[in-house]
Amino acid sequence: MINNYSSEDKALLAVDCIIFGFDKEELKILLIKRDFAPEKGKWSLMGGFLKKHENLDQAADRILKTLTGINNVFLEQLHSYSKVDRDPAERTISVAYYALINIEDHNEELTEQFSAQWFSISEAPNLIFDHDIMVKHAISRLRYKTSKEPLGFELLPPKFTMKQLQKLYESILNEKLDKRNFINKINVMDILIKLDEKDMNSSRKGSFLYMFDENKYKTKKAEGFSFRL
């Protein structure tokens, strides 16, 4: 029965990883320079091909670790891309994944042995093939999901200021938010823990630090709570 497949067309299956990071100031994307033709020397997402012994999730983990050193991050499948001529070398279908990480948590993994670099979303170079389209789709997904659930907290350190939280949402949504309205909406949600500690680097008086109360959020969500900015 297996021989019945021999007459079918064959295609390569690639996996591309879109990694967003936040450095307390702006949203960034991790890119790498392609070291083989076609498009050698141009900027690209982290990508590679599925191996026979892998499923897609395993391939995404392997590719990200091999090209950047980054490991143990949550990758979510985004979309598949199958335009016939998307890769000039050979018929290739790509499945894209994306992740949200706090850059500080992974600085030690991203050593000089890897050529991957962080770029501001607003200043990122043009990418090979249809990778720019993948990034646009990932940003749209990120904005949608961030408006529905507190995914953005994964990009912040465990303790953060309200200003850092607002900057994060402004970076993701690409719009300026009114400070008073933003703080009021966050406070009404009641999913943050205000600490007695202050960040003294932000001003002379300092800014109070907060933590995300994940247990309270899960309880409120189970009761029908809707996260909306």
Q: Does the domain at residues 151-222 carry the CATH identifier 3.40.640.10?
A: no
Q: Enter the tokens of residue 144.
A: 């949608």
Average pLDDT, the chain: 89
Report the CATH architecture of 9-148.
Answer: Alpha-Beta Complex (3.90)
The structure's pTM equals 0.86
| pLDDT at residue 111, rounded to an integer | 67
**Alpha helices (H) in the chain, listed in sequence order:** 56-68, 131-148, 162-173, 179-189, 214-222
Residue 114 vs residue 11, higher pLDDT: 11
pLDDT tens sequence across 177-199:
999 999 998 888 888 999 999 88
Do the domains spanning 9-148 and 151-222 agree at the CATH topology level? no
Q: Enter the tokens of residue 19.
A: 């990694």
- Domain residue ranges of the chain, discontinuous segments joined by +: 9-148, 151-222
pLDDT tens sequence across 92-135:
999 999 998 888 888 778 766 778 999 999 899 999 999 999 99
Cβ(211)–Cβ(192) under 8 Å?
A: yes
